[in-house]
Each structure stands twice: as structure tokens, then as C-alpha cells.
Chain A
Amino acid sequence: MEISNKTLALILAVSIVVSLGGVLISLNKINELTGFATNVNGTTTLTLNETVSLKWALGSIDWVSGYVNATAADQNCTMNTSNYKSSGCVGFTANSDGLVLENDGNRNLTVTLQSNDTAAQFIGGGADYGGPQFKWKISVNGSETLAQACANANFSTFTDITTTASPVCIPFNYVDAYDTIKVDLHINIPVSAPAGAKTAILTAIGSSWP
């Protein structure tokens, strides 16, 4: 099939318009920067809206599938997001990264965290071998200190997750160098836990501070 120069030029123009348009739309979505200028005297005013925004920079942990070794001395499987997987775990994929929460707006935030399930609902099983455990811990992400990201951070050691909104970071800094925190997770699966797909949802809600 022969393509004329005119057709090629048209394709070029359309593709450049689509490319640049796509980039502009993407950038607009990323930044949500809005402004307007008004004044009858010809003075221009630019208003940069304050955006309250929250993002999971790393938003899921997947230990995939496996089972608890029922013939091991410790008939439970303990895993966390520091790449730890106990000897009782058969299968499963270790995870070396916790969830990462980012204040990607331009206001400080107060942040609460909650789970949809308790440890018993998420993992199940009896009280044997430590029983079902589902814990979280707030820690520093990157080179900043936790105090730089959160003046007041709760759950600095592994603590049982809650199904009610618990304050975790007040205020959560918006300055780029200090605007992330890590949510590490710890689970324990006793051998008595019923088989089946196990999932839980953590919800972080931010509101402007103060």
C-alpha cells in the first residue's frame, strides 16, 4: 500500500497533537494545578489553590500462597515486610517493602489508618502457636527521620491493627523531602487457620492540619 506524503504529514501532526495532549492531561492530573487571573485594572492575580492530597506510593503487599508446615516444631508461619519468613512457612513470597504513604498535596495532614478486618477475621484459626496476628508499625521511609515526616507518630512498634480509624501521623509533612512514611506489616498464621483466599484492606484517610 502506497502512503502519500500528505497522509504521512497528517499522521505526524495527529500523533504529535495526541502525544502532547496526553502529556498535558497526565501532568494536569498529576499536579492538579489550577489558577486564574482577574482584575479590571489590568493587574494579574495568580491563585494557587491549596490541595489536600494523599497517595499510596506503594499500595499492596502480596505474600502470594502457601501453607503452614504441620510437622514442624513451630506450627505457625510468621511473616513481616522486612523480608522475614519463619521456618514454618511453606511457599509464600517474602516481602521486603512495607506500604508507603505519601502526602502529595501542599498542606500538612492528619492521617488515620484502619483495617476492614481484625486478625481473627483476616487470618482465622485458634489461639494455638501465637494465634492469628495482624499488626502494623509506622516507620521512616528513606533518609529522613520519622519526626521530620510526622511530629507525632503512633505505632512505632508492631501493634495490633484496629478496625476503627486510629491517628497515625499528626501532622504529616507535605515538604517533598519529608512527605512519606512506611507502614510495615506483621502476620502470624497458626496451623489451625482455615484454608482459602485471605485479603484485607487498609484505609488511610487524610485531612488538612490544623
Chain B
Amino acid sequence: MRLLIFFLFIFFLLFPYTVVSIGIIEPSYEERYIVFQPNIERHYEFTIGKAEFIHSFKNAGVLDPYVTVNDPAQDSGPRPISADIKLPEKIDPGLYYIFIGGLETSGEPGTVSARAGIQSKITVLSLYPGKYLEYSLTANDVGVNEKINFSMALSNYGIEDIGAVKGIIDIYDPENNFVQAIYTNTISIKSVENKALIAEFYALNLKPGIYKAVGRIEYDGIKPNSTRESFFRIGSLNIIINDYTREVIVNATNRFEITITSDWVGTISGVYGRVYTPNQKTLKTPNLDMNKFQSATLETYWETKGLEIGEYDVVIEIFYEKTSIKKTVKVNVIDGIPPIIEKPKTFEIKTTTIAIIAAVILALINIGIFFYIKKPKNKNEESNQNSTSIQPPKSLK
């Protein structure tokens, strides 16, 4: 019986807890990028895994007839699969995507259950005749009077190389008034190549807010009508109080939350709040660091014992960078069921750590049980055994 309990104990310790997950190991991005040529052929190998039952699939749109997935064991566990692509004589210019992947065959039970899939993307580029550029525009957020970096990413999807390309960027303020046009550098770009144009602009004397940049390109005498837009933000070292808890329960401990947003492009460290309540309590929140333009919630706890039901003025003060902002807000103290206050999480242990600790504990328990159950050796028995061992067997007597 003792042995049975021992083995059951080991069995339950070893019984794995599974989480729905799926993964794929794929060839590199460069290998998965095909520049179309008539009748071009490619072979790709993947490994799909983690989940117990995986359904492999392909999704290639108009290129579907030219893609074959080789799966030796559909709907089974982790395994290698492969795909063969044999493109036709001709396809229209443009970008095409072929997806090869795996999908969990089932999810967890429930009213709404979720399952995960994973896929590898293969890009096929069929070049445009002549000169053809695709581009996009990005700009970074800055603080007042700081430098803004603009970048125009270029992709030459034309058969021909381009000798000289430049970008022009018009900047508009938050009221959509034109501010200034700026020009990028001029570069050359070969067929299939990806490059970037850059431009800099100092936000001198510009007020904080969200600005718009409208970019266009010109290359080898061609001026396409298309434009690209990007928005960037000029921030100031301010924190804004967005929201707060508007109702609390009388005669209870209530969580009081303050939602704040940073208007600063950098990190603001040690932000905290104080809440001055009508029952003469000063509540302090923990400190937190705020990343650029980040929103966050400060929280503290308010004991409303002794207050009457009704509307009260509450003062919220947020402290940061040796300054503070104050806001007086209205909060309703209402009747109701006292809220259940959840304790914040203090730490998390990773699955691997738990597994290693479990293994060590298991090994120690095994060793302990061994020494506990092990039969103590009787010295007399031992000597008898030794003495009998040197005597000839009875049958030989």
C-alpha cells in the first residue's frame, strides 16, 4: 500500500499542466522573399510544434494552385513539414503573399474557446515594368525645441534602377496651418533594393501638440501624384489628470484610481499622487515611472468611515520632476455593498523555475523515502551471512 501511495505521489507530481500554444521554425526572411521569374521553383522546410494536435495549412490567394504542402502526418503532434512552390510563366506586377502554417485542432472547453495558429509568410515580388517606387513616411515624437527626424522608406519594385530620388515633406500644425516644407537628401536606388531618405527639422518655438507631415517623392524627372502622411507629437513636461474614481461606497475601504497621461517625450521618474479627502485623510499612491506619452493609473485606498452619503470635493495632487499639479474633483459617496479589495501581486514564478524546484524536491523526497524504508542491517546477521558464505554449499557436503 505504502508503495502504491509512493508511486501515485510521483505520478501526480509528474503530471504535466498544458497551456494552449503553437510554434513554427521557419527559413530566414531573405530565403522567404522571392523575386518572380517565369517558372521559378522553391522548396521550403518548416517545423511546427508545441501543440499536441496540429492541422497544417496553406493560404496563397491567387497563387494557391502553385503551392503544395507536404505533411506526412496531418493533425498529429510536432513534426517537420515542407512546401514546394512552382510559379507560372507570368503573373501581374505587385506583391503576393503565401502563408504556410499550423493550427491547433481544438481549444479549451467553454462558451467561447480560443485556439491559436501560426504561419510563415513567403513574399513574392513581381517587378513592375520601367521605374516604380513604393514609399512610406515616418516621424519621431519630440519635446519642444528638439530635433525631429523624418524618414522615407523606399522600395524599388520596378525593373529599372533609379538614378536620383528625393523627398519633400510639408509640415502642418495642430490647426492644420502650413508651417514649413523640408527636403530630404538625394540618393540612387537599384531594382529590388530598399533604402531610406532622411530629413531633420528643429521644432523651435513650436507649441506642443500633434503635427501632420505630408511627404511626396520625385525621381528621374517623375513626379508621382501620391503623398504619404505621418503624425508626430511635440510634447511638454506636463502630466494630465484624465480620470478618477467618481463613486465610493460609504463605511468601506475603497480603491481610488487616478488615470494620468504624460505629455513628455522622455521618461518621467517617481510620479506619485496625493488625495486629500473630506474626512481629513491624505492618501498617498505608490511611485511609478512613466514612459513617453504613456497613460498610467495611480491607485490608493480610501476608508470612508464616518462620512455621510453625498457629493464631496476631493483634491488630487500629482507630483513629478520637482513640481505638481492640483485638481479639485467631485466624488459621490454612495450606499452599497463594500467592494472586495484584491491584494496586488507581489511576485511571479516562471514555469521553468517551478519545474526545476519540483524536480529537486522530488529527488530529495525519493532519497528520503529510500533511507526511511531501507532495512537496518543487523551486525549479527551480517556476520552470520559472512560466516555462511565461506562454507561449502549443503548439497556438496
Whether A50 sits at the interface, judged by CB under 8 Å, is yes
In the bound complex, do residue B352 and residue A54 qualify as a contact, i.e. CB atoms below 8 Å apart? no
Whether A51 touches B23, Cβ cut-off 8 Å, given contacts A19-B362, A203-B117, A207-B99, is yes
| CB–CB A26/B23 < 8 A | no
Contact of B107 among A5, A105, A201, A205 (CB under 8 A): A201
Across the interface, name the chain B residue whose C-beta is closest to A109: B118
Contact partner of B23 (CB less than 8 A), chosen from A11, A27, A105, is A105
- Provided the pairs A8-B370, A19-B14, A207-B118 are in contact, do residues A200 and B359 lie with their beta carbons within 8 angstroms? no
Bound CA–CA A9/B370 (angstroms): 7
Q: Is B225 an interface residue (CB 8 A)?
A: no
Bound-state Cα–Cα, A152 to B89, Å: 38
Q: Across the interface, do B363 and A19 meet the contact criterion of CB distance under 8 Å?
A: yes
Which of these, B20, B111, B352, B356, contacts A59 with CB under 8 Å? B20
Contact B359 A19 (CB under 8 A): yes
Residue of B119, B121, B355, B367 with most chain A CB atoms under a 10 A cut-off: B119
Say whether A206 contacts B119, CB under 8 Å. yes
B121 contact from A27, A29, A53, A208, Cβ within 8 A: A208
Q: Which residue of A lies closest to B372 (CB)?
A: A8
Pick from B29, B99, B107 the residue with the most CB of A within 10 Å: B107
Contact with A along B1-44 (1 / 0, CB 8 A): 00100000010011010011111111001000000000000000
Of A5, A202, A204, the residue contacting B112 (CB under 8 A) is A202
Q: Are A145 and B375 interface neighbours, CB within 8 A?
A: no
Contacts of B103 in A (CB 8 A): 203, 205
Expressed in whole angstroms, the minimum distance between the Cβ of A16 and any Cβ of chain B is 6
Q: Are A56 and B20 touching (Cβ within 8 A)?
A: yes
A5 to B375, CA, bound (A): 6
A34 to B78, CA, bound (A): 14
Question: A154: CB under 8 A from chain B?
Answer: no
The A contact surface, by secondary structure, is mixed
Cα-based distance from A208 to B107 in the complex (angstroms): 22
> Taking the complex as formed, is B113 at the interface, i.e. its CB lies under 8 A from any CB of chain A?
yes
B26's contact among A32, A59, A63, A208, by CB below 8 Å, is which? A208
What B residues does A26 contact at CB under 8 A? 16, 355
Which of chain A's residues 36-56 have a Cβ closer than 8 Å to chain B? 49-56
Contact indicator per residue, chain B 333-368, by CB within 8 Å of chain A (1) or not (0): 000000000000000000110011011001100110
Chain B residues positioned under 8 Å from A61 (CB to CB): 110-112
Supposing A5-B375, A20-B363 touch, asked if A201 and B25 sit within 8 A by C-beta, the answer is: no
How many contacts A-B (CB < 8 Å)?
Answer: 176
- Do A60 and B107 form a contact, CB below 8 Å, given A4-B375, A23-B358, A53-B22? yes
Q: Which residues of B contact A200 (CB under 8 A)?
A: 111-113
Does B321 sit at the interface, judged by CB under 8 A?
Answer: no
Q: Give Cα distance in the complex from A200 to B113, angstroms.
A: 6
From 90 to 105 in chain B, residues with beta carbon under 8 angstroms from any chain A beta carbon are 99, 101, 103
Secondary structure at chain B's binding surface: helix, strand, loop or mixed?
mixed
CB distance from A122 to the nearest CB of B (A): 8
**Looking across the interface, which residue of chain A has its beta carbon closest to that of B14?**
A22
Flag if B112 contacts A60 (CB, 8 Å): yes
Question: Per a CB cutoff under 8 Å, which of A4, A54, A63, A105 touches B117?
Answer: A54
Q: Which residues of A contact B16 (CB under 8 A)?
A: 22, 26
Chain A residues within an 8 Å CB radius of B375: 4-5
- Bound-complex Cα distance A16 to B362 (A): 8
CB neighbours of A15 from chain B (8 A): 10, 362, 366
Per CB-CB distance, the 8 closest pairs between chain A and chain B, nearest first, are: A60-B110, A53-B23, A55-B21, A205-B117, A60-B108, A62-B110, A23-B359, A59-B108
Interface, chain A (partner B; CB < 8 A): 3-5, 8-9, 11-12, 15-16, 18-20, 22-23, 26-27, 29-32, 34, 49-57, 59-64, 99, 101, 104-105, 145, 147-148, 183, 185, 198-208, 210
Sample 23 A-B pairs with CB under 8 A, ordered by A number.
A4-B375, A8-B373, A11-B370, A12-B367, A19-B362, A19-B366, A26-B355, A29-B50, A52-B120, A53-B21, A54-B21, A55-B50, A55-B116, A56-B21, A57-B19, A60-B114, A62-B109, A101-B114, A145-B296, A199-B113, A201-B113, A207-B121, A210-B29
